[in-house]
Structure 1
């Protein structure tokens, strides 16, 4: 078998692969996976089971992951249900599967041990995190959603799991000023393609995780010969980078130049990036719910 599998998208290794790849891939053994849920606020996925390796992406609380191997050292190798990303993550951040009823829609929200903002918080949940709400209660006029583990979050920070926003670009703009983090996928820090993926998901548009995948598959290709003709919501790609058009001559992107999510004049961004290793614009694409992924 000569097919080459992208390690980021296919649970295939020389020594182990998912059972679905039997007959398609060369591996010493094929196994059934076991589905777990991410219980940590966010969980790093790495290309190897080593803490000194850069992260590829992050799994968010409530997302499901199919695990094909767990090691005595506390590592799990598996594939995210959300976008199909494959990698190594900490077994300590995984637990039993529960069906999500809601998603975090605020940039981030505190999770409390009970329904009271005066309680010391247990941590922060980022936009896109999934939770199971079992009830609601009001404390001093503020409504809290009670989660399946007994903890609580402010109810107005959540939306139903299948909720879609009309203007996903406005959601991307809410991340303005968020620190740039290579491999990050939360409102505490994220990279260029995660910004686009997380925002688009709020509009019901599922797209791949990394910029090269998005450039090849997200939405439909459009001309980028005249940047002034691009519309709000159009994606512009460079080698290893993506940003979104928010208005005339305006690009929003998580970038290593400002190390934040920032606006930049499109003409200036094109000239600046052309002078770097990333070079000229390579493609433009337009998203729609009909053209998701």
Structure 2
């Protein structure tokens, strides 16, 4: 899945600010050099604009030089200020550091609906870039009327309807992290308003997380992020502490879960059983075994153990991620991802969740995918770190 975002650095040439022109409080350094320096800071601290914010404006207002914009990196902000001061530039600092806690009052929330849509910009008709599930902790960055700009545990950033988020105080967030919670393992289901299951509180999908307040017969009594309560069958959930990749991250478990999603339609930006894009599909499969992968195919391609492609496909193992795309200026660019299931076959979201083969003799062979294959990464046994994080080890959950 590919996203298009605003450039990470914007230099406004206003009021005669041109390269080589002397500015009040500034040495003869050209604005070109200043812009290159700021670009360098942004690139070193915010390595991908889908996972970080660095939108910086430097412009002239009358006789004053204004530094404005926003970033979610304190290191980036400090580096920008130090760089300009080191160049002798006298400026007014209006650069905002996100989260904007002064306006929000807090920086934490929980997704409050079964599937929360994330948009590129704060509008219902904007591009769907991702989804987040009920009970997912999110970092609130700022608000724009009825929308929050949020960051999810995989570091992805997007706009969501504020009604889909239960805002938490710091104390409430600490209490949630220390509470007993369940992880929904069924494909879909309902949260019922009574033990007899006569009324419905909400729908629920695989991967949703809920606080547990007790057990009633064969049901968990659960509390939704906004305080609503209900019941779900205990047979469709597990205690969150049991979401252990040491036990669950096996080829057999991954393949079984992936194949249970056969036929679910493709949805650009989808990361739930209501619809998947390619990277959202493999991300969900791994998440249900306790691992948080990076969001997009191009981001996932950066992580994991690179597999041998000389002996491809014999070198592949079930559970490996296969990447497809193109090579530009000698660099592979991933635009599609699938999961290898063995015996030359792989499962992916392409039109719908389906299985294709790398073997030309098979009826489900895809010549297009074979011709655009650019590499494979192994997640099992790769070790944890950026792009491969166990839920149990993520500080936003614990």
TM range (shorter): 0.7 to 0.9
Question: Could you tell me whether the CA contact under 8 Å between 2:121 and 2:127 is conserved in 1?
Answer: no
Greater mean alpha carbon deviation, residues 19-28 or residues 120-129: 19-28
Computing the radius of gyration over CA atoms, which structure comes out larger, 1 or 2? 2
Cα deviation, 1:19-75, whole Å, max 9, x if unaligned, reads: 534224688211345111111111111111122122110011001111121122x01
Q: 1:120 to 1:224 in 2, by over 3 A?
A: farther
Distance 2:381 2:114 in 1: 28
Cα deviation, 1:107-157, whole Å, max 9, x if unaligned, reads: 12211112233x23233211111111111112xxxx111112321111111
Q: How does 1:113-124 map to 2 (within 5 A)?
A: 113-117=193-197, 119-124=198-203
1:7 aligned residue: 49
2:78 aligned residue: 23
Consecutive aligned runs of 4 or more in structure 1 exceeding 4 Å deviation: 24-27
Question: Could you tell me whether the CA contact under 8 Å between 2:55 and 2:70 is conserved in 1?
Answer: yes
Quote how far apart the aligned CAs of 1:201 are: 2.0
Q: 1:238 to 1:19 in 2, by over 3 A?
A: closer
Is 1:248 the counterpart of 2:343? The answer is yes
Q: SS of the counterpart of 2:359?
A: helix
* Runs of at least 5 residues in structure 1 that lack an aligned partner in the other structure: none
TM-score (norm. length: structure 2): 0.65
Q: 1:25 to 1:172 in 2, by over 3 A?
A: farther
> Residue 160 of structure 1 is aligned with which of 239, 245, 255?
239
Distance 2:196 2:309 in 1: 51
1:184 aligned residue: 270
Question: Could you tell me whether the CA contact under 8 Å between 1:114 and 1:150 is conserved in 2?
Answer: no
Residues matched between the structures, number: 278
The structure whose residues are more often helix, as a share, is 2
Distance 1:55 1:46 in 2: 5
Question: Could you tell me whether the CA contact under 8 Å between 1:169 and 1:200 is conserved in 2?
Answer: no
Question: Could you tell me whether the CA contact under 8 Å between 1:168 and 1:199 is conserved in 2?
Answer: yes
CA RMSD between the two structures: 2.1
> Residue 257 of structure 2 is aligned with which of 171, 193, 205?
171
Question: Could you tell me whether the CA contact under 8 Å between 1:205 and 1:289 is conserved in 2?
Answer: no
Is 1:273 the counterpart of 2:369? The answer is yes
Q: How does 1:187-226 map to 2 (within 5 A)?
A: 187-217=273-303, 219-225=304-310, 226=312
Cα deviation, 1:228-277, whole Å, max 9, x if unaligned, reads: 3322111110021011111202110011xxx2111112235451335xxx
Distance 2:165 2:381 in 1: 31
> Residue 70 of structure 1 is aligned with which of 143, 147, 153?
143
Q: How does 1:120-135 map to 2 (within 5 A)?
A: 120-135=199-214
* Runs of at least 5 residues in structure 2 that lack an aligned partner in the other structure: 1-37, 57-68, 82-93, 102-106, 326-334, 389-398
